[in-house]
Amino acid sequence: MDPAPTRGRRPAPSPAPSPPRTLAVNAHVACGGAPATTRPAPPGGPVDSLTVQIIVTVLVGIAYVVGLTGIVVPVLPGTITIVIAAFVWAIVIGGWAGWVTFAIALVLGAIGMTTSYVLTGRRLHAAEVPMWPIYVAIASGIVGIFVIPFLGLPLGFLLGLYIAEAVRQKDFRRGLTSAWVAMKALGLGILIEFSLAMLSTIAFAIAVVVHFVTA
């Protein structure tokens, strides 16, 4: 059978449209509710690459100073510190300035260390001074750092070298003479290595100026 006619019946009313989100939020606040808060932005942000380069450059410059000091005072690492610092600077800075600086530090450092080792070894061998008094002097310098700040390093080195030579020679006067010969042998090697390290430092300073001026 056909369904009954629906003539005269009103159509079902359509659902009322939902209020806009803004009105709903305002009504929620008007009724005493807490306003919705947006999620705060995460703290921090991308670090400026120029800032990183400046910080690394300052730290590398300090490492150069430590390296130069270590050449004069054998207790601290010398040329190796300069070469490693130049390598780190080249990685962070990049470009031809950084890698040329590292190449200069590597070549001059290798020449300086080799020359210093050969000349010092030959002069110590000619003076019949073994290497163990030098090691004793280095250990004494390390101890001297904690006993007398700053001055304890060179004083401990010299005192340790003298005592070691006096014990080896079994005579304090001959020990003083032998220690002086050892110091002169070390001095020539130190002078050559320090001069080459200074050239590396000058190259680094020039590279820093060139890099940041042209950045």
Domain regions of the chain by residue span = 50-214
What is the rounded average pLDDT of the residues 42-49? 48
Q: Please give the mean pLDDT across all residues of the chain.
A: 77
Q: With a cut of 60, say whether residue 40 has pLDDT above it.
A: no
Higher pLDDT, 22 or 213: 213
What b/e sequence results for 149-172 when a residue is b if at least 16 CB atoms lie within 10 Å of its CB, and e otherwise? eeebbeebbbbbbbbbbbebbeee
pTM exceeds 0.85 for this model:
no
Give me the count of residues in the chain: 215
Task: Write down the pLDDT at residue 35.
Answer: 52
Task: Write down the pLDDT at residue 43.
Answer: 44
What is the rounded average pLDDT of the residues 87-113? 92
C-alpha separations of 83 from 40, 88, 96, 110 in Å: 45, 9, 17, 9
What is the rounded average pLDDT of the residues 190-213? 91
C-alpha separations of 151 from 66, 74, 147, 154, 158 in Å: 16, 14, 9, 6, 11
Distance separating alpha carbons of residues 190 and 198, to the nearest angstrom:
12
